[in-house]
Chains A and B, each alone.
Chain A
């Protein structure tokens, strides 16, 4: 590099005197990213290099996933042509896998915003390197959730009837309908998260623009909008991010609450519950945080981001996951015990199906995945510090949370107040579209990771500048100072 390293006092602080303290400093440096500063140009390279690295196996996976997405597209066209009947939906189970997917995908979309907005508001420092990787899950999770709703429409070409404009009969959509709440909430959340991730990206896009050539240079030049990092730009940027953080948190809560209200507003036994809003939010955060951990582990390995994603980040997320597991169990139990004690006949049947009926194996698997396994393992630092073990736990949580949504949607729906119209649901074409939806999210994420720097370099540099070591007695401790 063009600059002599010694000339650059900010990035290389002198080591503390005394062997003992130096050792402590070294130890802290290994543990905390923000105490282990690198030269900005090195960090730029570390963040940009993985974007160029596309091994043959990367392309093999891309082709395979594209194939699955194509299969999904064909299935969808078939479904549009022949009608929703081919998905196995029938009276009384009108909501099947598509709605399970919608709830699931909106759920995993919650962690991204939570990590970047709520942890930003609370000034929790370990959020810095993972915020964008998490927000990207939100972006694509919501995209998939929106698509799942469209798949659920029989006449999907009429989707625009949801938009607020008067139709030919001069009728406006009924804004008091839960469908409209849903649409507006998801629209607001998707718009907000997209702009939020873009705002955070601006300085990094400028960084990428300054260090790339060819089509990437042109792309980043356009996307960075001419960012130079002037004081005015930074001041506005900070305020905008603050406003977004504070506004998007209540929006995040509203989205999954409203999704839960789609169920709870009905008189369907098992759905008509006042606790559904917070219960769904906790479930969403639970599966979302687990999804973020899985993604973090994958990108850390495949994009060689070991410098950025360290034990402290996995540890923080895993502890959060443990708390969420308890909270989820608390809500699940609350939602279970009230109808159980109430003893409504149809709910007795439903609970029997779960406890010892055809759904029992899956139900116990769900309890194992969501409660027993996380609680039994995540308290241990050895599990939390072992990425492979942690990822396994998180995959089980994904299975558990998917099952939980599956019980809520097509299983509960099969048992209504009129026993003559009970039914079961066999998901048919929906399975292919579910696989395709998952493939689409992974594919989009993979392609995105090669175009956009997933590591927020400016946020890490900011943290490294304002964080330092403080000596108290014989110990060195991390000290954080941040300009207001």
Chain B
């Protein structure tokens, strides 16, 4: 049972190497000898077995991880909510290469750093066999040996020029166990992420006052829009909004319905739901909730009334006039008619 730790300090590399040879002759196991220095002496200089280190495979693993993460973000996520824009490909090649490159590099760097910490058991906590003179140019040889060998080792160190000896009970410092280390690192990563997400998903909201809306600016299609009087009769034919050109309905052809369907899923579905039932992803944030477009009340409206709601908004629903041309709004109206 190894129970003595003997640390000797040497001036330079040759006597250190001789000492290691002598300790080996005395029967001290190779793993029981540790050399510490303030300058990177290689194992060849000290006459020791090369350190078996596996940082490169870890780095490669990180590269693969980064590569796959990039593929997920660039190839998979656009398919989760496909938005076709002007005939451009959903997954364009060259920009994907850029993101893949950056993530691969980031993965490599993070894995290298993480691998270094994990492999040499950093951060090391608790007492360690060490002497502060090691960073003053001295080379420390630490041997952890049996009581029986201790005197011989001590003698050998002294004989070969150790100018300081530090003998101690071998205290086994196991360091934090891997799962505890993992839990520690995990907590460090997860807690800020969770707090960040609480803000990102508006669970926690900090109201920030600002005057931006009061900047002098002209909104798209801005004009004086008067609400229709209560007794107004629903209009037929082209819709006439004060200050805007008349807009005639678009026939519900297959083309129009297809366009309407795509535009609906981009502009409306997040609140009204893909089926128009009023249960979109954002519906929970509104009170009153978004209208059920399949209901009697909505379907009972005329096309022109629906067009007006799209153009001017209603209640909590904003105008979509900024996003949709009048013709496109009629396409959406035609689509809404199919939601029964």
Could you list which residues of chain A lie within 8 angstroms of chain B, going by C-beta atoms?
A: 1-3, 7-11, 39-41, 44, 80-83, 85, 154-155, 157, 160, 163-172, 174-178, 180-181, 184-185, 187-188, 191-192, 195, 199, 203, 206-207, 210-211, 222, 225-240, 243-244, 247-248, 250-251, 254, 258, 458, 461-462, 465, 483-484
Cα A85 to Cα B214 in complex, Å, equals 12
Query: Across the two chains, which residue of chain A brings its CB closest to B44?
Result: A483
Contact of B37 among A85, A229, A248, A250 (CB under 8 A): A229
Give 14 new A-B contacts, CB below 8 A, not counting A83-B211, A199-B116, A251-B105: A154-B212, A166-B77, A168-B202, A174-B78, A176-B91, A181-B102, A184-B103, A207-B135, A210-B132, A210-B135, A227-B122, A236-B53, A254-B102, A484-B42
B128 & A458 in contact (Cβ 8 Å cutoff): no
Which of B106-114, B299-307, B322-330 contacts the other chain? B106-114
9 contacts between A and B (CB under 8 A): A7-B163, A11-B137, A39-B136, A41-B137, A83-B215, A176-B74, A228-B128, A236-B119, A483-B42
Cα A287 to Cα B200 in complex, Å, equals 38
Q: How far is the CB of A210 from chain B (nearest CB, A)?
A: 4
Which residues does chain A contribute within 8 Å of B120, judged by CB atoms? 230, 232-233, 236
Which of B92-100, B227-235, B289-297 contacts the other chain? B92-100
Cα A170 to Cα B110 in complex, Å, equals 28
Cα A1 to Cα B133 in complex, Å, equals 11
Which residues does chain B contribute within 8 Å of A83, judged by CB atoms? 210-212, 215
B106 & A3 in contact (Cβ 8 Å cutoff): no
Cα A465 to Cα B201 in complex, Å, equals 57
Which of A39, A155, A225 has the largest count of B CB atoms less than 10 A from its CB? A225
A175-B77, A254-B101 known; A234 and B55 CB under 8 Å? no
Residue B29 at the A interface, CB < 8 A? no
Q: How far is the CB of B42 from chain A (nearest CB, A)?
A: 4
Which residues does chain A contribute within 8 Å of B122, judged by CB atoms? 225-227
Contact of B73 among A170, A172, A199 (CB under 8 A): A172
Residue B59 at the A interface, CB < 8 A? yes
A237 & B116 in contact (Cβ 8 Å cutoff): yes
Cα A174 to Cα B89 in complex, Å, equals 13
Contact of B99 among A166, A171, A184 (CB under 8 A): A184
Contact of B109 among A41, A238, A248, A484 (CB under 8 A): A248
A168 & B125 in contact (Cβ 8 Å cutoff): no
A188 & B109 in contact (Cβ 8 Å cutoff): yes
Residue B41 at the A interface, CB < 8 A? yes
A7-B11, A170-B281, A199-B113 known; A85 and B42 CB under 8 Å? no
A80 & B210 in contact (Cβ 8 Å cutoff): yes
Cα A465 to Cα B137 in complex, Å, equals 11
Residue B27 at the A interface, CB < 8 A? no
A82 & B38 in contact (Cβ 8 Å cutoff): no
B215 & A247 in contact (Cβ 8 Å cutoff): no
Contact of A225 among B77, B123, B206 (CB under 8 A): B123
A172 & B51 in contact (Cβ 8 Å cutoff): no
Contact of A226 among B74, B125, B209, B281 (CB under 8 A): B125
A7-B11, A81-B210 known; A44 and B44 CB under 8 Å? no
A228 & B134 in contact (Cβ 8 Å cutoff): yes
Contact of B137 among A155, A187, A461 (CB under 8 A): A461
Residue B130 at the A interface, CB < 8 A? yes
A169-B281, A192-B105 known; A228 and B36 CB under 8 Å? yes
Within 8 A of A (CB), among B185-224: 196-197, 199-202, 206, 208-212, 215
A165 & B78 in contact (Cβ 8 Å cutoff): no
Q: How far is the CB of B34 from chain A (nearest CB, A)?
A: 5
Q: How far is the CB of B176 from chain A (nearest CB, A)?
A: 11
A207 & B73 in contact (Cβ 8 Å cutoff): no
Which residues does chain A contribute within 8 Å of B163, judged by CB atoms? 3, 7
Which residues does chain B contribute within 8 Å of A187, judged by CB atoms? 102, 106
Q: How far is the CB of A434 from chain B (nearest CB, A)?
A: 22
B38 & A191 in contact (Cβ 8 Å cutoff): no
A235 & B53 in contact (Cβ 8 Å cutoff): yes
A465 & B39 in contact (Cβ 8 Å cutoff): yes
Q: How far is the CB of A230 from chain B (nearest CB, A)?
A: 5
B35 & A231 in contact (Cβ 8 Å cutoff): yes
Residue B43 at the A interface, CB < 8 A? yes
Contact of A185 among B102, B117, B197 (CB under 8 A): B102
B96 & A231 in contact (Cβ 8 Å cutoff): no
Query: Across the two chains, which residue of chain A brings its CB closest to B200?
Result: A160
Cα A180 to Cα B101 in complex, Å, equals 13
Cα A180 to Cα B77 in complex, Å, equals 14
